[in-house]
Amino acid sequence: MIEKIVEKSLNDKELSEKEIKDLFKVPVFSKQSSLLLWAARKKSAQVSNGFAEVHAQIGLNITPCPQNCLFCSFAARNKVFTDSFELSIDDAVFQARQFEAEKANAIYLMTTANYSFEKFIETSKEIRRALKRDTVLVANIGDFTLVQAQELKHVGFSGIYHAVRLGENHDTCILVEKRLETMRNAQEAGLLVGTCVEPVGIEHSIDELVEKTIITRDIKPVYSGAARRILIPGTKLAKYDIVSESKMALILAIVRLSLSSTVKGNCTHEPNVVGACAGANLLWAEVGSNPRDIIKDTEKKRGMSVQDCISILKEAEWSVLDGPSQLYATSL
Ligand code: SF4
């Protein structure tokens, strides 16, 4: 049965909800799981012509966020950060140039959900001006309106990263519909959307993994994938063990197989070799603030560098794209 579903996916036929559920029931380290890892890697390499990408994110600010996502170190109720901090425009520009020099395929600007949109636009304009014309910029911010999406496009963003997270509206104060509306606004404004099944915890049911996988498929993103939740000490969700990289590799492989070949990217976070072997062709480097970290400069703790990500992809036998992201390829 699993063989038939794999064949269907490799022939680029849409999998049913039940078929995706059957894939999620496959145990890790089984004969069938090996088949899923093989097939996902094959599909991933085929659709991306064998190239993987490294995107690099600059976290612009830290402030207690009222959206209170339980998995995020910025959530006010998690009390990890009680003070606010903002990267200066000069430092943000310096870091963006640095990422460009290190050959990141795309540069993301990330803020907490309650960061001023006007300030974000102001900073983004400066960064856009400082970068080469074909350097790809991606916004990773809170929910926004259609008019704001048009403004992001006008400033020179190619796309956004956004997701309906696991536990949305249960572990967060945001409605699923709000997240979906933001992605529709972005697409209507001509921005491409990257997304992911995240943050995966051991308590999430197969039904929820299936539901979120299908949501990422319905969005028609440029990439999906899977990322695990990082344990933030002292918070409510810290009682759960972290999902192993081996299990995550299987999950991201299933997400890859559940999406059509028009979706070229399959991401995982945090970067790891086993995930890249299983078909993840997009990894992230990070500097500045990071919702999975407990210090303000993540490059000193959890955040990996562009070179770290390139090395991981090479260990997994990927060729790394040299040049602007093909996932977010669009005419500016
Ligand atoms: S994930 Fe985003 S919306 Fe949620 S608490 Fe963190 S910054 Fe706020």
Give the Å distance between the CA of 76 and the centre of ligand 1: 9
291: Cβ–Cβ under 8 A, 6 or more apart, which residues?
69, 71, 72, 73, 74
| Phi, psi dihedrals of residue 198, rounded to the nearest 5° | -160, 160
Cβ 69 under 6 angstroms from ligand 1 = yes
User: In angstroms, rounded to a whole number, what is the distance separating the alpha carbons of residues 250 and 28?
Assistant: 7
List all residues 6 or more positions away from 191 whose beta carbon is below 8 Å from its beta carbon.
139, 149, 152, 153, 157, 158, 159, 160
Torsion angles phi and psi, residue 112, rounded to 5: -70, 160
Ligand 1 atom closest to Cα of residue 68: 5
Tell whether ligand 1 has an atom less than 6 A from the beta carbon of residue 141: no
198-230 confidence digits (pLDDT tens): 999 999 999 999 999 999 999 999 999 999 999
Distances (CA, A) of 230 to 233, 275, 292, 293: 9, 16, 6, 8
Centroid of ligand 1 to alpha carbon of 216 (angstroms): 19
- Indicate whether this model's pTM tops 0.95: yes
263 lines ligand 1 (CB under 6 A): no
For residue 137, report the phi and psi dihedrals to the nearest 5 degrees: -110, 135
User: Percent of the chain at pLDDT above 90?
Assistant: 99
Distance (Å, whole) CA 223 – CA 2: 24
Token digits of residue 115: 């960061």
pLDDT digits (tens, 9 = 90+) for 254-287: 999 999 999 999 999 999 999 999 999 999 999 9
Per-residue pLDDT tens over the stretch 67-106: 999 999 999 999 999 999 999 999 999 999 999 999 999 9
Domain 13-320 annotated CATH 3.30.830.10: no
Average pLDDT of the residues in 34-61: 98
Q: Is the CB of 237 under 6 A from ligand 1?
A: no
* The pLDDT value given to residue 330: 67
Beta-strand pair 51-59/319-320: parallel
- CB neighbourhood size of 7 (10 A): 11
Domain map (residue ranges) of the chain: 13-320
Q: Is pLDDT above 90 for 332?
A: no
| Adjacent-strand bridge partners of 57 | 108, 286
Torsion of CA 207, 213, 216, 221, to 10 degrees: -170
Q: Output the CA 249–ligand 1 centroid distance in Å.
A: 25
Average pLDDT of the segment spanning 117-135: 98
User: Is 50 exceeded by the pLDDT of residue 51?
Assistant: yes
pLDDT digits (tens, 9 = 90+) for 296-319: 999 999 999 999 999 999 999 999
Burial class (CB in 10 A: 0-12, 13-18, 19+), 88: exposed
